[in-house]
Structure formats: structure tokens, C-alpha cells
Amino acid sequence: MKCVKQAFIILLSLVLTTSCAQPNLLTDVSDTDSDDALYYEAKQKLDALEWDAAIDIIENQISPSYAAKVSVKETLAGAYAGKCGFTFVDIISGMQNSPSANIFPFFVSIFGGNTLDTASCDQAISIISSLGTVLQRTQDQNLFMTILGIARIGTTISAKLDPTNDGVVDGVYNTNYSVCHNYSGAPGTATATDGWAQPGPSPQNPLAIPAPVVAPTRSITDTEAKKIASGIGLIFENISALASVLSGDNSTLTALQDALEQCESVAGAGNCTATNEAAVGPELLYTIRVLMDTNGMGFGACDPSKVYPDAAACCPRLKIPGF
């Protein structure tokens, strides 16, 4: 009987370690220092919404070769996305259940009540971008990029124009808050200036947008506007992946497709898919500021049908010289 029991134990051990060429099923709980065990722990931390703990395990405890696996990178990007202030399911569910044609305010509303960390969003984008181009990545990875683009827009605007973090741009828009200017001076002073060179027919146009007498309390800087532009570029670049999970009559999806058309009508065909700030030129920067001020998709009262060339009716002082 003793021999039979020993043989059974040996057989069970062999099954657990070699069956179907799979690793030992007890590895995750028996060898706590192995990469498999550490990765298992990281995913548990992710499920428990313990973002920093999951990030620490993957970045500092798992071996570099194991951390280079695509699945591990995806998990790490998910942890950074959670730390940024959102979950994948929240945004998709929100777009399916509460679609909105007014995309910029809608993206801000998604993050109401959440603790925001825009740098973590940037890190998540960097990780997924490292997996390849839009044609090299999987459909799921491209879908993740559209969600990260939405997060980049929503968190950037929220961090600046929604200080009470209730999901709504606070104050009296166009008086205390602005998406139209980049004020570098002290808020509320006449010395606040706008350093953004105004785009026009000539790239060498020396004119700059003058600041009004009193600067608003909060305004979108050039750096922030470029981040927003690259966020919407991520959405436009991967919009087919987003369309795969939203119905064709989804208001948000339709509004995004309209936004792409509007953007290209101003910035030019193919010029609205910049996915990083460095690729955002003055024409696209101008376009994004005006789109954020339209009444159809933004925060202002601008008529989107008159965005170009009659931009003076939208963001004040943004009229392109020569038109």
C-alpha cells in the first residue's frame, strides 16, 4: 500500500508539472519569488485596485525579460490607467449607456469624483505605443488607445478647469475659465500674455494673440492644449476599434466622426491624428482650441459651421489673418 501511495504522489506531481506543457499549477502559491508568482500577485493587486502595488511588482520585482512580455505590458498599462483615474469598463459603459454629442464636456464628466493623475495616463499611452503602430497592434490594444485618448482629454481639462472635481467645468465660462488662450502671467492681471504664435497663411506669420485686459482665473496652456490635441489624435487614429464596440447610431461615436471631419476641414486632411504633443503644430493647436469652444462639442457658444474662417465668433482673437 505504501508503494501505491508513493507512486500516486509521483504521478500527481508529474501531471501538475508537465501535463499539456503547462507550468506547475502550484507555482503561483508555492514559489513566491518566481516571475509567474509575482505576476499572479500583480494581477491580484490590479483586481483590488491597488495600482501602485501592481506597478511596483511589475517594474521592480519581475525580471526584465518576463516584464517584456506583451501580456505583462498590457497589465502594467492597465495599472497606470487605473492610477490615472479611470477603469476601462467605466468609460465604455458610459459611452454605451449615456452617449453624448457634446464630447469635450462629456469626457470631463466621466472623471468627476475621481482622483486624477495625468502623468500616469501618459505612461499608459507610452506602454501601449511601444507595442507597435496602429496596424501592428491588436484590435483590443487599439481600443485601449482610444480609451487612453479619451482619458488624456478628460483628465487634462478636468485638472485645469474643474478644480472642485464634480465633472463639470466650474465658474462662468469665457469669464473665469478659457480654452481659447494660454495665459502665462499671474491670474487676474493685465500682464498675462499669450505666447502662442497665431497661425495663418504663412508659417512665418509673426503675429501673436493678444491677451485681454484681465486674464481668466484658469485657462488651457499650450502644453495642455497640445496634450488634448494628441488625445483626440489617439481617438481618431484608432476610431475603427472604438466603432467595433459601439453601435453605429451611438451619439458619441457620431460626434467623434464629425469632429474628425471638422478638424480636417481646418487643419487639413491627415493632419488631425498627432498622437504626441511634439507632433502638434500651430494649425492643429488652433483648431483644437476652436473646437473646444464650439456649442456642438465644446464649452462655448461658437457655431461649428462657422469655425473657419470666421473664428473670431468663436474663441475671441483667434481669427486667422488674411481671411
For residue 227, CA distances in Å to 19, 155, 281, 284, 286 come to: 50, 10, 12, 12, 13
What's the pLDDT score for residue 93?
72
What's the pLDDT score for residue 176?
58
What's the pLDDT score for residue 202?
38
Per the CB < 8 A criterion, the answer to whether 246 and 96 are in contact is yes
Q: Strand, helix or coil at 287? A: helix
For residue 136, CA distances in Å to 74, 78, 292 come to: 15, 19, 31
What's the grid cell of residue 110? Answer: 466621466
Burial of 48 (0-12, 13-18, 19+ CB in 10 A): exposed
- Helix 70-84 to helix 139-161 angle (10° resolution) is 20
Measured in whole angstroms, the distance separating CA 101 from the mean position of its chain's CA atoms is: 18
Per the CB < 8 A criterion, the answer to whether 282 and 200 are in contact is no
Which is nearest to 241 in space by CA: 147, 154, 151?
A: 147
Q: Splitting the chain (323 residues) into consecutive groups of 10 residues, what average pLDDT does each group show?
A: 38 35 44 86 93 96 96 94 80 70 85 81 93 92 90 87 81 62 47 40 42 60 89 91 79 85 81 89 82 81 58 52 33
Amino acid code (one letter) for 222: D
